[in-house]
Chain A
C-alpha cells in the first residue's frame, strides 16, 4: 500500500503532547499576511469639504465631481457623501475612480488644493486611511516629536574670507582621479586646500554662488561645503548625468538619460510616482524632490521619417530658471512653454503657454524694471519660425501676467538665437536669414532695448557673413561677434574667421546711442569669446583646434590715444597681448576679472593636458602640465554686499588701496624669495659637504687598496706616447674666397 499522508502523520508524530493552540504565531501571521487586492485602491477620501445639508448636497457633489474629473474619470453616483444624524454632512466624501492610477493622480494633484478661502481639499487614498488609521497604529497619547539639539553648522561662505587677507579666489581642479580645491597664488604654486581621490565619478561643479561643490556619482549628486568640506546635501537620483542649479541656489535639476526605476524595496527619497522620469527638481535646503518629469520626445517635423531621424541633441538645460528662482520653464518644441511656480511646482495658472511653432526661449538673466511698468515681473523671450504665410516672430512675454509686451515680425528666417545681456537691459536676436533662392545666408542682429519705453528694436544689418559666435559685455553695452564666410562644416581645416567689435555711439545724457561697428580683425582662426565678468576686457580665443591656439587679450577702454575715426564711439579698442596655449580646450575668467585660466582637458584630447594662468593683460603667470587634467573651475562669488555708494568710494580711493596692496605684495615676494634662496643655499652646502666627505673616503680606500688613479693611468700613457716621438704639429690651412669676378675676354 502506498504511504498516504494520514499514515505518515500518524507515524511521524512525536510522542510528546503537542498543543497547536499554545504556539503564538500572531507575529508571523502579521508579518506574512498577504495584502489582498481589496479593490479599494480606486477609492480616495476627500476631506475638508464645507458642511452642507441635504438640500445643498447635490450642488456640492456636482462641484466636487467637476474638480475630481480634472485628474481622472468618475461619476456622480460614485461620489458618496455620508450625512450625520443631524442631517448635515460630515465634511468628507468617498470618491471612486475607474483606475488605480487615477486615484493616485488625484491624491498627488488635488491634495491641498484650495476650494475657497476657508476650505482646502485634503485627498487621501482610502487604503491609506485604513492602513495608517487602523486601531493601535496611532497611540492614544500625544508624544511630542523629539527635537534634535541644535548643531552649529559651519559657515558656508567662509571662502570669501581669504586667510592670507589678499582676497584670493579658489578654484577646483579635477585631474586623474582626484579632485583638489586650491587658493590661486598667481605666479606661485597654488595653495592646496583639500584634495580627495575619487571625490567624483564624472565631473565637479560649483553652485552658482559658490556655496557648494557638486560631485556626481552613479547613486546621485552630493553637495560639499564649509571649511572642513563635509557633505552638506545628498540627492539620490540614480545614474544622474547632468546637474543644474537655479540662479540663487535654491533648487537643483538633475537629469539622467535612463528613466528612473524605483526598486521594489523603495527608494530613500523618490517615490513610485517618479518611476520612469528623467528629470527631478529638488529643493536644495531640504534635499527633498519637488517634482519629477519625463523626457519630452521632440516631435518629428512634417514629412520626416521618424525612424531615419537621428536622435535629437538634448537641449540642456531643459529647465530654465527665472532670475529670481520663482519660476522654472520648459519648452515643448513646436507647441508650448510650460512655466511652473516655485516652491509648489504647479503649472502657472494651471495651463501651459501655447505658442504654435515655438523653437526656443530664454529668461531675462536679471529682474528688469521696464519703463512705465510698476510691479514685479520676469521677462521671457521666445521665437517662432515662419508658418505658412505668417512671419517669424520674436516675442517678449511678462510672467506671471503672460502678457506679450513686444513682438517683432521677421521674414526669410532660417534660424535665430537669443542673447540676453547680463542685466537684461538688452536682448540681441541673432537672425540667420536666407535669400529668396535660399542659396545665400546672411545674419542680422535685432537688438531690443528692454529698459526703454516701448522696447524699441534696433537692427544691425551691416554684417555680410555668417555669425558663428556672439557675446555681450557683462553689465555693459558692447559686444563682440565672430563671423565666417563659409558655413562651418566638417572640413579638415576650419575656415578663417573675422572678429568684430561693436559699441554704442556717444549720446547726450544717460541715453545709449545707436550700436556702431568699431573694428573688424580679419583672417583669424578665433572661434570663442570670453568677456571678463566685470566687463571692459575680453579674450578672443581659438579653442579645440589642432592647428592654432591663439588667445587675444583686448581692452575696450584703453587709456591711450584714441583714433580720430572712433571719437564718437564709447570704446577705445587695444590688443594688449597675444598668447598661445597649444591644444587649449577651455578658457575661464576668475570671478574678480583679474585672472584667466586656460586648460587643455583630457576629455577632449590627450595632448599636453594641463593649465595656463594669465592675468587680465594676457601676461602668462603660470603653466603646469598635468597628466590626465580634466577640469578647472573657479569658485563663483556671491553678489557683493556693498552699496553702489560704497563701491564708488572704493573706486575713488583705489590709489590708496593699491599702494597698500603693492607694498604687501612686494614684502611677500621678497620674503618668499628669501626662503627659496635660503633653501638653495642649504642644498648647495649639503651637496658640497657630501662631496668632500665622499672624495676623502674614496681617496683613503684607494690608497689602502693600492689602486691607481685614472688620471695617473692616462698620464702614463701620454708620457709613453710622447717618448716615442716629438710633438706633432698639425697645420691647417684655411682658404677663404674674398671675391670672385668673372670676365669674359674677347
Chain B
C-alpha cells in the first residue's frame, strides 16, 4: 500500500507515537512544535505550541486525555490533547530527552540530560488525569544516574519497575516506588548507547535499540535477554508490533557520517524481523536519511517512522502482511482452531444434554 508522507516538520524527527486507540499519531521534531495527525489518512489535526527549543519526546496518556512532551528548553509540558492548551510546565536544569506515562496515566517519568555540572536524572511526576485539575509542582521522586546517564526509560507492567537504558549500553531496573536501583546489566556492547526502549502491550517485556547495530528483546522482571536482532548499521529505534509477531527496527548510517554516499549506502530502511525466530523478514525503503524513530500502531494496522529527513511515513499494512506466516505458525494456528472447534462441539453436546 502506498505510504502516507506527513511533511509537517521542518527539521529532523525525534519521536513518533500512536495513542492507545491507534487513530492518532503524535510527532516531535527539532523544530518547536508537536504535530498530531489522523493515522488513517495523514491529515493534520493540529499542533501544540509553546516549547522554545527542539522537542525530544512526546507521550500520550492511555485514555488520550493528556499528552506530555520534553524539550531542549529544559521543560516538560503537559497538554490537553483535545484543545491543545498547555496545562502545566515543569522546569529542569537540563534538557528532557524522554517522557513516558505509566500504564494508567497517573505517573509521568522524564529523563533529563547530563550537562553543565548536572548529572542525568530520571524524575517522576504525579499526574491527575483531568484537564481541569491542578497539577502538582512537586516531583514525586528523582533518580540520579551517577554512573552512566540514562538515555531512555519507561514504566514496566503494574508500574512496578522503572527500566532505563544507558549511554554505556547497560540497562537498569529501578524500584518504581522507592527509586532504588535493583540491577544493572551490560546488555548491549559496552560504550554503545541505547537509543530507544519500547514496550510490549502488557509492559512485561520491552525492546531496546542500540548503536551497536542490534536490538534486543528483554523481560522487565529479570532483564533477561530473550531475543537479539542483528542489523548491519547502527539502530536508532525499535518497536514491537501487535497482531503479528514482528519487531520493526529503524536506523542507518549516523546523520553526521552521511556524506555524499547514496541512500543505498546509508541503509535508511525500516527492517522487519520475526519476533520469535529473530529472522529478518522484510525491509521498507523510503526515507533519505536515517530513521530516528519508529512506532507500531497499538491496533496492529499500521506503523510509522520519522527520519532525519524531516518526514514521517505512515504505512498501513496490506493483506500480504497479515497473510504472511511461517509454516510452523500456520500449523499452530490450525491446531488451535481445531481445538477450539472441538471444544465448542463438546459444549454444544453438553448443552443439549
Interface on A for B, CB 8 Å cutoff? 582, 607-608, 625, 627, 677, 680-681, 683-684, 687-688, 690, 694-695, 698, 701-702, 705, 707-708, 710, 713-714, 717
Contact = CB atoms under 8 A, between A and B. Distances in A.
Interface of B is mostly: loop
A541 B158 CA distance: 60
Interface string B319-341: 00000001111011000000000
Contacts of B157: 698
Contacts of B226: 690
B351 interface: no
B213 to A, nearest CB: 9
Contacts of B276: 683-684, 687
Contacts of B310: none
B175 to A, nearest CB: 14
Contacts of A683: 276-277
Contacts of B104: 707-708, 710, 713
A243 to B, nearest CB: 33
Contacts of B277: 680, 683
A684 B331 CA distance: 11
Contacts of B327: 677, 680
Interface in B243-292: 245, 261, 264-265, 276-277
Nearest to A707: B158
Contacts of A695: 202, 204
15 contacts: A607-B261, A625-B232, A677-B328, A684-B329, A690-B226, A694-B202, A694-B204, A698-B202, A702-B158, A705-B158, A707-B104, A708-B104, A714-B21, A717-B63, A717-B65
Given A680-B277, A680-B326, A710-B20, 10 more contacts: A607-B261, A627-B232, A683-B277, A684-B328, A694-B204, A698-B157, A698-B158, A707-B158, A714-B21, A714-B62
Contacts of A688: 332
B126 interface: no
Contact of A698 (B62, B204, B245): B204
Contact of B328 (A608, A680, A707, A717): A680
B270 to A, nearest CB: 18
Nearest to A688: B332
A582 B263 CA distance: 13
A714 B158 contact: no
A710 B158 contact: no
Nearest to A716: B63
Shortest beta-carbon contacts, A-B, top 5? A717-B63, A680-B328, A681-B328, A687-B276, A694-B204
Contacts of A705: 158
B169 interface: no
A710 B265 contact: no
Nearest to B213: A627
A684 B336 CA distance: 13
Most buried by B among A608, A694, A705: A694
A714 B265 contact: no
B31 interface: no
A42 to B, nearest CB: 67
Interface string B144-160: 00000000000001111
Contacts of A707: 104, 158-159
Nearest to B201: A710
B158 A701 contact: yes
Contacts of A701: 158, 160
A732 to B, nearest CB: 10
A694 B218 CA distance: 13
A608 B233 CA distance: 10
A713 B62 contact: yes
B165 interface: no
A159 B258 CA distance: 45
Nearest to B275: A687
A701 B156 CA distance: 13
Nearest to A609: B232
A245 B277 CA distance: 47
A520 B327 CA distance: 48
A144 to B, nearest CB: 62
A607 B328 contact: no
Contacts of A625: 232
A690 B205 CA distance: 11
B103 interface: yes
B70 interface: no
Contacts of B202: 694-695, 698
B279 to A, nearest CB: 9
A625 B65 CA distance: 47
B105 interface: yes
B63 A713 contact: yes
A610 to B, nearest CB: 9
A698 B200 CA distance: 14
A680 B64 CA distance: 39
Contacts of B21: 714
Contacts of B261: 607
Contacts of B103: 710
Contacts of A708: 104
A694 B160 CA distance: 14
B197 to A, nearest CB: 18
Interface string B90-121: 00000000000001110000000000000000
A694 B217 CA distance: 15
B265 A607 contact: yes
A688 B331 CA distance: 14
A386 to B, nearest CB: 47
B328 A714 contact: no
Contacts of B62: 710, 713-714
A286 B332 CA distance: 65
Contacts of A714: 20-21, 62-63
Task: Identify which of A688, A690, A695, A713 gathers the most chain B CB atoms within 10 Å of its CB.
Answer: A713
A627 B159 CA distance: 41
Nearest to A627: B232
B327 to A, nearest CB: 6
A188 B20 CA distance: 43
Interface string B185-227: 0000000000000000010110000000000000100000010
B268 to A, nearest CB: 14
Contacts of B160: 701
Contacts of B158: 698, 701-702, 705, 707
A719 to B, nearest CB: 11
Contact of A582 (B105, B204, B264): B264
A694 B203 CA distance: 11
Nearest to A681: B328
B178 to A, nearest CB: 16
Interface in B1-50: 20-21
A717 B62 CA distance: 10
A685 to B, nearest CB: 8
Contacts of A698: 157-158, 202, 204
A690 B202 CA distance: 14
A694 B202 CA distance: 10
A627 B189 CA distance: 16
A135 B103 CA distance: 99
Contacts of B265: 607-608
A674 to B, nearest CB: 11
B291 to A, nearest CB: 19
A607 B202 CA distance: 41
B20 A684 contact: no
Given A582-B264, A608-B265, A698-B157, A684 B63 contact: no
Contacts of A627: 232
A684 B62 CA distance: 30
B325 to A, nearest CB: 11
Give the interface centre of A607, A625, A683 by most chain B CB atoms within 10 Å: A683
Contacts of B332: 684, 688
A707 to B, nearest CB: 6
A607 B258 CA distance: 12
Contacts of B326: 680
A426 B317 CA distance: 62
A687 B240 CA distance: 15
A72 B352 CA distance: 122
